[in-house]
Structures are given as structure tokens and as C-alpha cells.
Amino acid sequence: MKIVALVGSLRKESFNLQLANYMKERYKDSFSIEIADIKSLPYFDQDEELNPPEVVKGFKESIANADGILIVTPEYNWSVPGVLKNALDWTSRVEKVFIGKPVMVVGATPGAMGTIRAQLHLRDILSSPGIQAKLLPPGNNEVLINFAAQKFDAETGQLIDEATIKFLDEKVNNFIQFIEEVKGSSI
Amino acid sequence: MKIVALVGSLRKESFNLQLANYMKERYKDSFSIEIADIKSLPYFDQDEELNPPEVVKGFKESIANADGILIVTPEYNWSVPGVLKNALDWTSRVEKVFIGKPVMVVGATPGAMGTIRAQLHLRDILSSPGIQAKLLPPGNNEVLINFAAQKFDAETGQLIDEATIKFLDEKVNNFIQFIEEVKGSSI
Amino acid sequence: MKIVALVGSLRKESFNLQLANYMKERYKDSFSIEIADIKSLPYFDQDEELNPPEVVKGFKESIANADGILIVTPEYNWSVPGVLKNALDWTSRVEKVFIGKPVMVVGATPGAMGTIRAQLHLRDILSSPGIQAKLLPPGNNEVLINFAAQKFDAETGQLIDEATIKFLDEKVNNFIQFIEEVKGSSI
Amino acid sequence: MKIVALVGSLRKESFNLQLANYMKERYKDSFSIEIADIKSLPYFDQDEELNPPEVVKGFKESIANADGILIVTPEYNWSVPGVLKNALDWTSRVEKVFIGKPVMVVGATPGAMGTIRAQLHLRDILSSPGIQAKLLPPGNNEVLINFAAQKFDAETGQLIDEATIKFLDEKVNNFIQFIEEVKGSSI
């Protein structure tokens, strides 16, 4: 099973990047995770959508070929980072590579509120006609990691909070089932 | 009165760019509009926020020096474009140049719904602690230009729909009053 | 197939009530529609949730026994009406009768924007842990009937706009498929 | 200074009701708080808006005569309770008694997320054309009381968390200033 991860933070020691890397290692027997290089994408420009730069083509192909997408996002100003929204915008035009694609959303933050507002916006975005992702239902599957500085090891970047790891295991398991189910679905 | 405009679309014949240029000309006796070059900004990276590239510094200074900000935005996937969100993200860190700044939001789209969902997201973003703009109250001041292909002249790029122009005049007048009022306000 | 409809407007000649009645008649070969009497419910009170009034028990049973739910809602103040939200609140506690239930949302309004903001709020609500409905994916299935006074016959209350009827037929067909699929799903 | 409070929970030992009562006592030298009896209001019915029941008339008058409104709300299913939305719906028609009225929003919850999603919805609602409240700007003034069972005394119902009390004092002070400012404002 091939998962492509979109990570919304560019900071080298980003908790969200650490989370993506942690998941890549922990769940490697279930799926591979390739972290897309979304910062190499130019800004979306409708004048270029029919024949976009090669880097955009490659990115869209990797989405198209993935069994599922993992979005790992901080919250910037009560929404998703611009770099993440920009990557999603490229996928939504001409060949709409997200349509029907299973998506799981996770987020980590040093603050108390766990990226809750970013995830609300992101769910709107993922539901729109140009994207139409199959989102793992949020009600029982939200991953909102707050107080991240206490839950990740400052030296190794590993997630070390046992309750969070157990919770994440369950939700990832739900995501794997969800991917299987979406494959068999027609709507 | 100096207004800086952020335009969310990079397309050369963008209705939103046409709208910004139209407003620059039509209201030149009331204020100047400088369209910020937001596509020249790199992606926000927290590792660089303390000493960002010169282009970011210049952009933040132009916001800091403006009497008001005009955001002219299309709707991409039920939210604002990545390039616009990215520009806002830079303004929200270290020197938070949007705090207390009067902001007016307008949007144009070929579709029926007039960028309504993008504007809902944008209002959340503009209310967040890192931005804290003073938003022209939306209830009676929303500018949602739908069916833009019928309202702009295809050759000249001029807004030609009389009802829309009259409506826009009123809302711009409200914005000018609002800027004056915010100047005298302490909260 | 048994569908329970929740209608958000109490006005006798409400376009949304007309729409529910129209759908009841038009699709009677595919499913029955029972319009729930949500205005007979008291306000949700947590002190009564363990042993609610009989009218609440009956309402929750009808939801529990339905194959799917149709929500027909106007937009009041950029959100759903209080009477509709109150009905949903009762369903979300103790026996959470909406969990996994297939839901379709439609809305009609005399205005231009087709209840778009009410439907955004409603999707958040339906995704929450106490409700966890299975929502017909919105991207390609939104039913936003604007300018309703031109699309319904003032005397008979029938939907008479052919394009809208055709569109509605397609979306109802998607909903029927969706109900079948949800039945076979485990997540 | 006269404040009318709308409390979204009907539970007798509601943390939100306790919070309203606490604020009534603590700030009695700055303003009086009258808690509106919103559960006595019938459901909004457009057929009755021109000549609503006496209880609705009385409620609307109390809003119209208030210097400011305090909304004290739990979060039900990621939004505001139906009973609160219904009260707001009555105020938004015919005589739109909320227009220009200063509003402060506070919320308490036993959970971790402090009614954050309810407050996002509420801000949309309060911005709509029928309501057009003057909302105390949220960026620096949000009152999200999480883990309420630890912050209120179970026997007396008093708020006893010192950090929360200090924070609330500051925000109430901002609200008082805001009310004064709105009085002098024309837009």
C-alpha cells in the first residue's frame, strides 16, 4: 500500500514533519509513506494548468498513483498553511487527481487546541468539487495532537506519548480499513 | 490614504486582478492602491521568520505602512488560494503587521456563488490572534461578484455592470469611513 | 426503503416543505418519506436525556429505524434553523441514533446563494462524534436551490423548473446507491 | 450598563449557567446582567414574525434595550445549541434588534477544546445581515473555558480557577471599553 504524505510545515524540526517520519517508520509493515516535496511547487497559476511545470506533473502523478493520502498539518492563523493549500490547488484542476482518493488528516501543535480550526477548513476544502477526496470520517477519527513539545522527544524527534501512540495506532488501522473499503466502492 | 491590495489569482486576465485595477482607477481620488507582488514571496518557513528574505521584509513594511488593506480573492476549492494564505502567514509572525489594520474583502468569480465560501474562511483567518485585522463588518458589506464573465468587458477588462458598480461605490464608501473610525479607536 | 425527512422551516408555504413534499411524491417508487414533526420536540435539556419525553423517544426511534435521512433546510442567519439543530441535538446523546445513517442534504431559498452557508455548518454538525452521519459526499451532490420563487409554482407548490428536477433526480439516484453502499460498509 | 445574557444550556447545573451567574455577581459594579429566558420562546416561525407571541416581543425588547449582549454557550455537536440559535433567529427578522449591538461570547465545557467550534459557527451567525452584531474581536478576546469540572466548585457553582478569573477580568474589561466605543461609532 502506497501512501503519499503532504506536510504543511517547512520548519526543519517541525512536529508535523516528525510525526510524518514517525508514522513512516512505525507503520512500514502496513504501507510505505513518501513525503511529497510540496515546497518545490510553484504557486498555482491558472494560465499554466494545461501544461504545468514538470515538478507539478510529477507531484500530480504521485498523488494519482497513491492508494491513500496522509495530510499532516499545523494550524496557521486558524487555517491550513499556504504551501499546503497551494499543493491542493494544483491537484484540483484539469486532471483532478484527488477525486475518490482516501485521505487521513493528522495535526500536531505546541498549543492547546490541536489544529482543530485548520482541520475544519481542510475538511471543507477536501469536500469541494475539484478535490472530492474520500475523507476518513472525522467524528471518531480525529488526530489532534496538542502540547506537542511534551509528546515528542526533543532530541530524537520521536513521538513518545504512549496514549497518543495507542490512539494513533487505532486511527491508522481505521484508515487502512477505509482504503480497502473505498477500493470496493462505486460512489 | 494608502491602500495595499492582495490579489489571490495569478492568471493574467484574472477577473480579480481586473477588479483590483478597476478599483485603483475608479477610487483614485479617495486613495491610492498598490498591488502587492505576493507571488514573489517564498513559502512561509518558521525557521526564517526572525530574519526573512528581503522581499518578505519589504512586503511586511508595505502592509505596516498602509492605511488599509484590500483583499481581492477568487475561491479555490471552497477556500482562499494558497498564494494568498501564504502572504497572510508571513504577516502573522514576529512583527504582526496586520493587527488593527482595516481590511475590506471583495471577490469575483465566473460561477454563481460569488466566492462566498472563500470569504467565510478568510474571515476566520483575519480574526486569528496573529492577524487580528479590523474587518469591515460583513453583514452589510459583502462584495461577491458572481457571473463575472458577464460583468467585466472581455476586451478592456473594465467592470461594466452598473448595479455592481453602484454597489461597490457604496461599500468602498463604507470602507473609507471605517478606516477613519478605526484610526480613532483604541480596541 | 424508508426515509425520514427533517424540514427546517415551519412556515406553512415554506419552499423547503414544498420540496420535501415534492420529493415524497416524485420518488415514491424508490422510497417512502415520512416528514418528522420536529416542532413538537421540546428544547434539548441534558437533565432529561436519560429519560426524555415520549415525543423525543418516538422521534429518535423513527430515525433509528430509517434507511436514510433527508434534511431539507433553509438558511437562517448563515446557519441552520434552531428547530432543526435542536432535533439533531436530541439524536446525539445516550442512544446516538444518527451514527452511520446515510444522510442527504437539500435546501431552497428565495435568495441567490442557495443555503450554501447553512449547508457548510450542517456538514460540520453531521460529522461530529455524537452524530457521525454518513453524508452523501457534497462535492458533486450539493442541492442548492436558489431563486425558489421562480422554481416552484406559487399555486400548487410543485417544483416546476426542469433543470432543477433533472439535477435532483440524479442526486437522489446517487443517494439511493449511497444507502445501499453504506449498508455493506463496516467503517 | 445593562447586559442581557443568552445561556445556551438548559441543564440546571450547567457550567455555562454557573458562569453567567458568576459574571453577574463579580461584575455587578460595572453592569447588571439579566439572563433571558430563551427556553420560553416558541420555535421561530416566519408566519408569525410580523406579530409574534408576547414572550417573543418581550425578549426582543430586552435585547433592543440592552447596552450589550453576553452569549454564554456550550458546544453541542460542533455548533451552538438549537435553543440559542432559535432565540437568535427571532431577533433577526422584522425589527432586527441585534444590529450594531456589542456582543461578547464565552463558553465552558468539561472537554479539552473549550467550545471552539461552537464559537466559530456563532461568529458566522452574528455577522450575518439579519443580526450584524458588533462582536468583541475574537483574536485576543476568546473565552474558551475547558476542563470546566476542575475550574468550577462542584458545591457552590463558583468559578474558582484563578488564572481563568484573571483572564476573564481582562476580557470583560475589554468588553466594557468596546461597548463605550461602539456607542460613539457610526459604522
10-residue mean pLDDT series, chain B (187 residues)? 98 97 98 98 98 98 98 98 98 97 97 95 98 94 96 96 98 96 79
Q: What is the pLDDT of residues A7-44, one digit of tens each?
A: 999 999 999 999 999 999 999 999 999 999 999 999 99
Contact A80, A73 (CB under 8 A): yes
d(CA B16, CA B39): 15
Question: What Å distances lie between residue B110 and A69, A132, C77, CA to CA?
Answer: 31, 21, 25
Helix ranges restricted to H, chain A: 15-26, 54-65, 82-91, 116-127, 148-151, 162-183
Q: How far is B179 from chain C (nearest CA, A)?
A: 26
Mean pLDDT over D182-187 rounds to 77
d(CA B26, CA C41): 55
Q: How far is B127 from chain A (nearest CA, A)?
A: 8
Chain C residue at shortest CA distance from D41: C43
Nearest to D108 by CA among D184, D167, D65: D167
Q: How far is A187 from chain C (nearest CA, A)?
A: 7
Q: Count Cβ atoms below 10 Å from residue B77 Cβ, excluding itself.
A: 26
Contact A4, A69 (CB under 8 A): yes
Residues of D with CB under 8 A from a CB of A: 112-114, 116-117, 120, 146
d(CA C58, CA C66): 12
B114 contacts in chain C (CB < 8 Å): 112-113
The DSSP 8-state label assigned to residue B39 in this structure reads G
Whether A85 and B85 lie within 8 Å, measured CB to CB: yes
What pLDDT is recorded for position C185?
76
d(CA B107, CA A93): 20
d(CA C152, CA C110): 10
B124 contacts in chain A (CB < 8 Å): 78-79, 117, 121
Chain B residue at shortest CA distance from C111: B113
Residue A186 reports pLDDT greater than 90: no
D112 contacts in chain A (CB < 8 Å): 112, 114, 146
Whether C82 and D79 lie within 8 Å, measured CB to CB: no
Mean pLDDT over D155-179 rounds to 97
Q: What is the pLDDT of residues D101-130, one digit of tens each?
A: 999 999 999 999 989 999 999 999 999 999
d(CA B142, CA B95): 29
C-alpha cell at A56: 507539478
Q: Count Cβ atoms below 10 Å from residue D69 Cβ, excluding itself.
A: 25
Contact B88, B43 (CB under 8 A): no
In order, the DSSP letters of D144-176 are EE-SHHHHB-TTT--B--HHHHHHHHHHHHHHH
Q: Which of C9, C89, C131 sits opposite D82 (nearest CB)?
A: C89
Chains that touch B (3 or more CB pairs under 8 A): A, C, D
H or E element, residue D33: strand D32-35
Nearest to B161 by CA among B143, B178, B174, B175: B143
Whether D137 and B186 lie within 8 Å, measured CB to CB: no
Q: Which of B44, B78, B86 sits opposite A124 (nearest CB)?
A: B78
Contact D105, D141 (CB under 8 A): no
Q: Which amino acid is at B51?
A: N
What pLDDT is recorded for position D68?
98
Q: What is the pLDDT of residues C16-46, one digit of tens each?
A: 999 999 999 999 999 999 999 999 999 999 9
d(CA B62, CA C90): 52
C-alpha cell at C39: 416542532
SS3 per residue for C44-77: CCHHHCCCCCHHHHHHHHHHHHCCEEEEECCCEC
Q: Where are the domains of chain D?
A: 2-185
What is the percentage of chain C residues whose pLDDT exceeds 90? 95
Q: Average per-residue pLDDT in chain D? A: 96
d(CA C127, CA A138): 6
Q: How many beta-carbon contacts under 8 Å exist across A and D? A: 16
Cβ-based burial of D65 (10 A; exposed 0-12, middle 13-18, buried ≥19): exposed
Q: What are phi and psi of D147, to 5 degrees?
A: 45, 50
Q: How far is B184 from chain A (nearest CA, A)?
A: 26
Buried/exposed C74-107: b ≥16 CB within 10 Å, e otherwise = bbbbbbbbbbbbbbbbbbbbeebbbbebbbbbbb
Helix ranges restricted to H, chain D: 15-26, 54-65, 82-91, 116-127, 148-151, 162-183
Buried/exposed A126-151: b ≥16 CB within 10 Å, e otherwise = bbbebbbbbbbbbbebbbbbbebeeb
Chain A residue at shortest CA distance from D120: A117
What pLDDT is recorded for position A187?
61
What pLDDT is recorded for position A185?
76
Contacts with B72 (C-beta within 8 Å, 6 or more apart), sequence order: B5, B6, B7, B8, B16, B17, B19, B20, B23, B106, B107, B108
d(CA D41, CA C86): 13
pLDDT band, very low/low/confident/very high, at C127 (cuts 50, 70, 90): very high
Whether D77 and C131 lie within 8 Å, measured CB to CB: yes
Domain D2-185 belongs to what architecture?
A: 3-Layer(aba) Sandwich (3.40)
Mean pLDDT over D48-67 rounds to 98
Helices B116-127 and C116-127 sit at what angle, rounded to 10 degrees? 60
- C-alpha Rg value of chain C to the nearest Å: 16
Q: What is the pLDDT of residues A137-176, one digit of tens each?
A: 998 899 999 999 999 999 999 999 999 999 999 999 999 9
Q: How far is C123 from chain A (nearest CA, A)?
A: 9
Whether B43 and A83 lie within 8 Å, measured CB to CB: yes
Mean pLDDT over D147-169 rounds to 97
Residue D187 reports pLDDT greater than 90: no
Question: What Å distances lie between residue C49 and C57, C83, C94, D75, D110, CA to CA?
Answer: 10, 17, 7, 16, 17
Q: Count Cβ atoms below 10 Å from residue A19 Cβ, excluding itself.
A: 28
What ipTM goes with this model? Answer: 0.96
Q: How far is B9 from chain A (nearest CA, A)?
A: 7
Whether A77 and B125 lie within 8 Å, measured CB to CB: yes
Q: Average per-residue pLDDT in chain C? A: 96
Q: Which amino acid is at B99?
A: I
Which residue's C-alpha cell is 505602512? B65
Question: How far is C-alpha A95 from the geometric centre of its chain's CA atoms?
Answer: 20
Nearest to D115 by CA among D21, D26, D40, D19: D19
Buried/exposed B132-148: b ≥16 CB within 10 Å, e otherwise = bbbbbbbbebbbbbbeb
